[in-house]
Amino acid sequence: MRTGDYRASYAQDEALFVTPVQRAWLLALIVGLAAFPWAAGSYLTYIAVLLGIHVISATGLNIMTGYTGLISLGHAAFMGVGCYAVAYAANAGVPFWIALPLGGLASAAIGLVVGIPSLRIKGLYFAIATLAAQFVLGFVFREWEPVTGGVRGVNLPAPSLFGLAIEGDRAVYYIVVPAAVAMLVAARNLFRTRVGRAFIAIRDRDISAEVLGISLLRYKLTAFAIGSFYAGVAGGLWGYFFRAATPEAFSLGLSVFYLAAIIVGGLGSILGGILGAAFMTMVPEALRAIVAWIAPWYPPATVLLSPMREIVFGALIVGFLVFEPHGLAEMWRRVRRFFHLWPFKT
Amino acid sequence: MNILEVERLSLSFGGIRALDDVSLVAPQGAITAVIGPNGAGKTSLFNAISGFYRPERGAIRFEGRDIGRVPASRRAGLGLARTFQNVSLFRGMTVLDNIKLGGHSGLRAGALSAMWYLGRAREEEMRLRAEIEREVIDFLEIDHIRGLSIGALAYGLQKRVELARALAMRPKVLLLDEPVAGMNREETEDMARFILDIQEERGITVMLVEHDMGLVMDISNHVVVLNFGRVIASGTPAEVRASPQVIEAYLGAKAARKARHEA
Ligand SMILES: Nc1ncnc2c1ncn2[C@@H]1O[C@H](COP(=O)(O)OP(=O)(O)OP(=O)(O)O)[C@@H](O)[C@H]1O
Ligand SMILES: [Mg+2]
């Protein structure tokens, strides 16, 4: 029989960063992120901002699809809702730190409506319902001119803080990255509690989830609302970054991009969303860089290799799925187990 | 007092009458066994009680209140827990997380407080953890496996984890569907001991379905026999064992006649 203070020892067992080494790593990570735009050039800063936005959105999709089992093909449209809502608010003079959560809430509200059928229809059938939402929302973006500006879209003012405009990628980086970090922490916390466990229980076996007192409707809608909130905030950040909201930005292609990201990264893993978004953002960039590097030696390269890029990218995705069906996160875990170095509990 | 009462319950699937005018009670604090040949309707009865199946007729009363219209997910909060004939654990989670799921209805934190974590959500989770360690994990002797994933466990242990999850619900009534099926002698004895402790020390009312007659006769206070969806006998283990209808249902009419002859 065990004696002593349960609370202290379990609190430690339940904590995320326990050892001094882990805390040191965490501190290093924060300092690294803060210093990044100054150390890296403008191109890398641009990529980092884009990656931050993709990480937020992919994490949102992972909460609904990877953790709760609700496949969504309309994630880009939810981002669009957030982007247009933020554009509308920003043009009405609302400061960015209010506009962004508002964009998230607008998207969550639409997400709730789209999520309602999830109680009745499951799996692929539900995915088709979200596909319909993608097209319907796309139609709204194009046609609701007074709000969305139609096919031309709308522009956004630069966000500002205390009257100072936040312009340029480096400045936007300091909005996007803290937002991404905060939302990742929030997502990680979610899965330490009853709410996150309920999501996973619904994904794995909805019937016995009910016996445990989990209301399917309530938690499926909660997962959908949270996922769309993430998408909405990501969409709003996208708007501030590109200073525009246009219908073609939030197409089915982008929805598939996020699905690919969480599948490659690891379904039902916060780290998976990050790694998957990184893969999807950086591999095409890397391939582009390789082509540009070859071009001087072999001028036809640009013409010949550009189409090859897409093929190589596709082949890489398929390769990952075949060799590591649990995604990059699982690969990472294996590497870590091997080295026993990395401090983060996942 | 009868904490759980089933009155004239009928349920059919297409042409099959899974339950036909079934009435039975679970007296407070007792162990009631439901036995019967394969396909008799035992699991269907449990499914009706836990709210998966909507019976066509009849009433289910829990602490005197008709719960026939209460959704399945709300019955847990009332104090009704169960295990499944085929273990129904979440394979993607650890043993500990599976057990924590049992605490779901006892906790309150919503999504926002969960994402913030530091306030109420954390406090609640810590309390749940300590409670589970004390009242469930130590009790069922599964300390050594709390961090493992379900897939890594032998079948007997999986059944024990499922019982742990049900106990974490802090139920008033526990429905166990074939708790020792597929277990070896030793595991069966452990399980029998746990069930008795659950009843005696915690005062939880137990209703169990089981084919292992040795176990049923040893630990139950009451036995109800189902056959083709109907209650054909009920009483103490000794009474039920002597009932000609029960012998007939289990061994066929011929054996029953022979038994009567010999008596
Ligand atoms: N969901 C269902 N759909 C159709 N028929 C069903 C369903 N559930 C049960 N039945 C039928 O109802 C009858 C009773 O089944 P039930 O599972 O309750 O039996 P049981 O007493 O638990 O049997 P066993 O001892 O084999 O577990 C059987 O004829 C079964 O085929
Ligand atoms: Mg059965």
DSSP string for residues in A112-131: HHHHGGGGTS-HHHHHHHHH
pLDDT (0 to 100) of residue A346: 46
Buried residues in A186-225 as b, exposed as e (16+ CB within 10 A): bbbbbbbbbbbbbbbbbbbbbebbbbbbbbbeebbbbbbb
pLDDT (0 to 100) of residue A300: 74
Report pLDDT digits (tens) over A285-296: 888 888 788 878
Å from A13 to nearest chain B CA? Answer: 10
Our count of domains for chain A comes to: 1
Residue A211 within any structural domain of the chain: yes
Q: Are residues B99 and B150 in the same domain?
A: yes
Residue A13 within any structural domain of the chain: no
What is the Cα–Cα distance from A161 to A172, expressed in whole angstroms? 11
Domain membership of residue B130 as a residue range: 92-162
| Statement: residue B122 has pLDDT above 70 | yes
Residue A11 within any structural domain of the chain: no
Mean pLDDT of B40-48: 96
Q: Are residues B7 and B120 in the same domain?
A: no
Decide if A190 and B111 are in contact by the 8 Å CB cutoff: yes
Q: Are residues B24 and B140 in the same domain?
A: no
CA A252, distance to chain mean position in Å, is 16
Q: Are residues B12 and B51 in the same domain?
A: yes
Whether A7 and chain B come into contact, CB under 8 Å, resolves to yes
Report pLDDT digits (tens) over B79-105: 999 999 998 999 888 999 999 999 998
Q: Are residues B97 and B44 in the same domain?
A: no
Question: Smallest Cβ distance to A190: which of B107, B115, B169?
Answer: B115
Q: Are residues B60 and B180 in the same domain?
A: yes
Q: Are residues B155 and B207 in the same domain?
A: no
Domain boundary among B134, B162, B190: B162
DSSP state of B117: -
What's the count of helices (H) and strands (E) in chain B, helices before strands?
11, 10
Q: Are residues B15 and B56 in the same domain?
A: yes
What's the CATH number where A107 sits? 1.10.3470
Q: What does DSSP say about strands B173-177 and B205-209: parallel, antiparallel, or unpaired? A: parallel
Whether B77 and chain A come into contact, CB under 8 Å, resolves to yes
pLDDT (0 to 100) of residue A238: 97
pLDDT (0 to 100) of residue A3: 42
Residue A7 within any structural domain of the chain: no
DSSP state of A62: I
User: Percent of chain B having pLDDT more than 90?
Assistant: 82
Our count of domains for chain B comes to: 2
Whether B51 and chain A come into contact, CB under 8 Å, resolves to yes
Report pLDDT digits (tens) over A222-273: 999 999 999 999 999 999 999 999 999 999 999 999 999 999 999 999 999 9
What is the Cα–Cα distance from A100 to B20, expressed in whole angstroms? 59
User: Which residue type does A60 have?
Assistant: G
Decide if B104 and A198 are in contact by the 8 Å CB cutoff: yes
ipTM, two decimals: 0.90
Q: Are residues B75 and B100 in the same domain?
A: no
Q: Are residues B18 and B138 in the same domain?
A: no
pLDDT (0 to 100) of residue A1: 38
pLDDT (0 to 100) of residue A2: 42
**Scanning every residue of chain A, which has its alpha carbon at the shortest distance from the alpha carbon of B174?**
A211
Single out the residue of A262, A318, A292, A304 nearest to residue A59, CA to CA. Answer: A262
What are the tokens at A201? 């229980």
Q: Which segments of chain A have a pLDDT < 50?
A: 1-7, 346
Lowest mean pLDDT among A336-340, B13-17, B67-71: A336-340
Give the mutation target among B13, B35, B38 for probing the ligand 1 site: most ligand atoms within 8 A of CB. Answer: B13
Domain boundary among B128, B162, B196: B162
Q: Are residues B175 and B247 in the same domain?
A: yes
pLDDT (0 to 100) of residue B255: 66
Beta bridge partner(s), residue B61 = B5, B66
Residue A137 within any structural domain of the chain: yes
Whether A182 and chain B come into contact, CB under 8 Å, resolves to no
Single out the residue of B210, B239, B212, B214 nearest to residue B226, CA to CA. Answer: B210
Whether B91 and chain A come into contact, CB under 8 Å, resolves to yes
Residue A14 within any structural domain of the chain: no
Report pLDDT digits (tens) over B139-182: 999 999 999 999 899 999 999 999 999 999 999 999 999 999 98
CA B158, distance to chain mean position in Å, is 15
Residue B196 within any structural domain of the chain: yes
Domain membership of residue A94 as a residue range: 45-341
E strands along A132-240, which residues?
A: 154-155, 160-161, 164-165
Q: Are residues B193 and B251 in the same domain?
A: yes
Residue A227 within any structural domain of the chain: yes
What are the tokens at A341? 């170095």
Decide if B126 and A193 are in contact by the 8 Å CB cutoff: no
Domain boundary among B114, B133, B162: B162
B86: Cβ below 6 Å to ligand 1? no
Count CA within 13 A, CB hemisphere, residue B26. 30
Mean of the per-residue pLDDT values of chain B = 92
**Scanning every residue of chain A, which has its alpha carbon at the shortest distance from the alpha carbon of B94?**
A197
